Structure 1
Amino acid sequence: MSTDYQLSITPVKLSQLPSEETIVSLGESLLESTKSWKHGKAFHKGLVKTCSRPKGPRDGAPWHCRISEHAPEDATFDEFWSKLGEDKANNEMQYVSEIKKVTLIKEISPTQSIWSLYYTFPPPVSPRVFTVLQTKHLVAESPKKGLIVSIPVELSEDAELAKLEEKGVKGRYVSVELLEELDNGKVEWRMATSSTPGGNIPSFVAESTMDSTIAKDVTHFLHWFHTVREKPQEPAAA
């Protein structure tokens, strides 16, 4: 893989997948750059802030970012990581209503795997298929930090793997998520993404709702998480 790989919606062939180190480094750099992006609207009573960056020369689409801070009552770092860093695709299907099916295409290592996600939408929009390489990187000592990077992958080089994809219009997205313990005892959840739905949907239509869509994922996640959260053990009676 050439060293000039950049995070974008351009799919990567299986024979050209970047190294884990490259993906993690690019993800960290991108999220650091979001701190100087143009501020957008805040959503859900100010819980979720957004910012964005126009499409650059090597981007396939503009970038959008959301940032939220969470007290332990929402979820602890370990609780966030257990649902976003572990088994991410299956967990996303529980709180993103448009995801109807996820398929593990290939497990490359304990920290890298290829997934295909099948989305459905109200008519007249036809189903979409997004296939991504997910890379996760955890810093387990305090302050804890966890990174999850998803980049679009093209499976055409391997007919057997390509058969595992659902049928539908191919969309593309790249996303970088960071969970980080803060000095104030909270957890910051920062996510930047660039995407195209594919097909005949004009890009300006998809772009116009992007900030509100990614902001909604925070509240949808928290609502779902609180239905599956393990209750603390009651102390045994003396």
Structure 2
Amino acid sequence: MLSITPLKLSAIPSDEEVLKAADALLESTSSWKEGKTFHKQVKTLHRAKGSEDGAAWHARVSIHKPAEATFTQMWSKLGEDKALNEMKFIPNIKKVTKVKEISATQSVWTLYYTFPPPIAPRVFTVVQITRLNDSSPRSGTIVSIPVDLSEDQELAKLEEKGVKGRYASVERILELEDGNLEWRMATSSTPGGSIPTYFVERSLPGQIAEDVPHFLKWLHSLPKTE
């Protein structure tokens, strides 16, 4: 289920099924091939496309001291309304719409990205599933899986016009014994259209690594009450 093949709304699995697969994927990243380190703290990893994958997988791992971000701060921005918050620190996201709230932990979002010409705008629609573990050490997991809205034409109208891309991702914030936080994310994606796969694969490690300083800069710009 963790692939770039979109699910029908009626086929979205239970939280338990999705999170079990997500945990297994995150644990497997420790054996993935190491790539470049960006910004002195963001390590990247990757796994070649397997027989059940629609695309290769890429991951990043970064460690953060409490002065950079607390667990509560990170979870409040990544575990709650993640797509809306991403629009505030990822420059290419121009519009985000909540398509449907399935439950307190499952919601469907559509994200509209724009890029410099000649690349056409992209639309990504996903179901996001969250889990917060409040016992020590605390952890929070966010899973995004591509969704096909064609079963419900009214919901499909909420998508912007653009080339349909697809991505699956698993993200975890974990408290470590030394008081720091580990932020680990793995993703598999395709932008759709005619962009060559080799170009996408070559640029992905740098792109996912950039999200870390972008997020921290935005987080530190917020009023202290947030």
Q: Which residue of 2 aligns with 1:13?
A: 8
Q: Does 1:209 align with 2:189?
A: no
Mapped partners of 1:146, 1:229: distance in 2? 23
TM-score (norm 2): 0.98
Q: Does 1:200 align with 2:194?
A: yes
Amino acid at match of 2:128: Q
Q: Which residue of 2 aligns with 1:167?
A: 161
Matches within 5 A, 1:1-238: 6-45=1-40, 47-230=41-224
TM-score (norm 1): 0.94
Q: Which residue of 2 aligns with 1:236?
A: none
- Give the share of equivalent positions with the same residue, in percent: 62
List alignment gaps of at least 5 residues for structure 1: 1-5, 233-238
Q: Residue 167 of structure 1: SS of its match in structure 2?
A: coil
Amino acid at match of 2:87: M
Mapped partners of 2:213, 2:98: distance in 1? 26
Equivalenced residue count is 226
Mapped partners of 1:50, 1:229: distance in 2? 31
Amino acid at match of 1:133: V
TM-aligned CA deviation for residue 229 of structure 1: 4.6
Q: Residue 110 of structure 2: SS of its match in structure 1?
A: strand
Mapped partners of 2:101, 2:81: distance in 1? 12
Mapped partners of 1:133, 1:50: distance in 2? 25
TM-aligned CA deviation for residue 118 of structure 1: 0.1
Mapped partners of 2:124, 2:206: distance in 1? 20
TM-aligned CA deviation for residue 230 of structure 1: 1.2
Which structure 1 residue ranges, 4+ long, deviate > 6 Å from structure 2? Answer: none
C-alpha distance after superposition, 1:113-166 (max 9, x if no partner): 000000000000000000000000000111101000000000000011001111
Q: Residue 116 of structure 2: SS of its match in structure 1?
A: coil
C-alpha distance after superposition, 1:9-52 (max 9, x if no partner): 0000111111111111111110000010001110102x100110
Mapped partners of 1:92, 1:178: distance in 2? 16
Q: Call closer, same or farther: CA 1:42–1:229 in 2, change over 3 Å.
A: farther
Amino acid at match of 1:137: R
Between structure 1 and structure 2, the one with the greater Rg is: 1
Amino acid at match of 1:51: L
C-alpha distance after superposition, 1:37-75 (max 9, x if no partner): 001110102x10011000000000000000000001110
